[in-house]
Amino acid sequence: MPSTSKSDYTHGMDRDPDIQREWLRLFDRFVLRLIELKPESVLDVGCGRGVLVNQLSQAGILATGIDPKAPGHDPQIIQGDVERLPFGDDDFEWVTLRHVPHHLPDLSAALRECVRVTRKGLLIAEPWFDLTDPLQKISERWDRWWKRQHERAGDVHKACIPVSGIVAALPVGDFDIEAEHYRHVAHITPEAIEKLSKPLLDELPPDNPDRGEYTQIMQQINERGFTYNGTVIVKVTRG
């Protein structure tokens, strides 16, 4: 199965209470946008532990999740791969992918499958750094460093995919695209970033250039701070 990870699916982020809190605040925006669509049924691709599936179910929306790392004992949260969705054409009104695209080895193959099983469209979120802000530039530099270490260990963890990358990966078809960039200014302590980075740094060979890169990034973070990423929400409606 592609893109299974050696580490837990959040790469340790959910163990930091500050990061966890900001993460949930960021995701609230996505839930709001989804609820506004008044969906009859939703397939949440890359559902993780099923947080969104549970929220939707509580709101009376028919929700199913799929993830390669699903435990496999919950009929609502199925174990499986986005490239081979075990569903029929048009089975769901909406399909969601929340912070999933940058984990996928072949986004085009994934979106082709997602479009196949949806009647109305896709609601996609990707993390987003506002590079017009110097603090976000530092955070994005660390984000790339962090993901490089996961990729070195065999995970798929790419840099954040911009709207243009998502649109380019859609299959040929008639789609209406709406994108909303949501900047979420939240400061995370340098200590929290160091704690997340340390195990990865320890695994780096002594001559790896990412050791020097880490020193430079942490110097900037200690001097200027670290701000959490925002998100971009892309609504892809079938024509």
Ligand X SMILES: C[S@@+](CC[C@H](N)C(=O)[O-])C[C@H]1O[C@@H](n2cnc3c(N)ncnc32)[C@H](O)[C@@H]1O
Contacting residues toward ligand X, per CB under 6 A: 2-3, 9, 45-48, 51-52, 67-69, 81-82, 98-100, 103-104
* Strand-pair partners of 237: 121, 176
Nearer to ligand X by Cβ, of 48 and 121: the residue is 48
Which sign, positive or negative, has the C-alpha torsion 40, 43, 44, 48?
positive
Q: Which is nearer to ligand X, 99 or 120 (CB)?
A: 99
Give me the least distance between CB of 100 and ligand X, in Å please.
4
Q: 108: Cβ–Cβ under 8 A, 6 or more apart, which residues?
A: 169, 170, 171
Complex with ligand X: residue 67 or 143, whichever CB lies closer: 67
Burial of 116 (0-12, 13-18, 19+ CB in 10 A): middle
* Minimum gap (Å) between residue 136 Cβ and ligand X: 19
Give min distance, CB of 110 to ligand X, in A: 7
Strand partners, 42: 63, 94
Cβ-based nearer residue to ligand X, 78 or 213: 78
Q: Judged by CB, which is closer to ligand X: 52, or 166?
A: 52
| Shortest separation between residue 54's beta carbon and ligand X, angstroms | 11
User: Rounded distance, CA 200 to CA 128, Å?
Assistant: 23
- CB of residue 226 to ligand X, shortest distance in Å: 19
The token pair at 232 is 């971009």
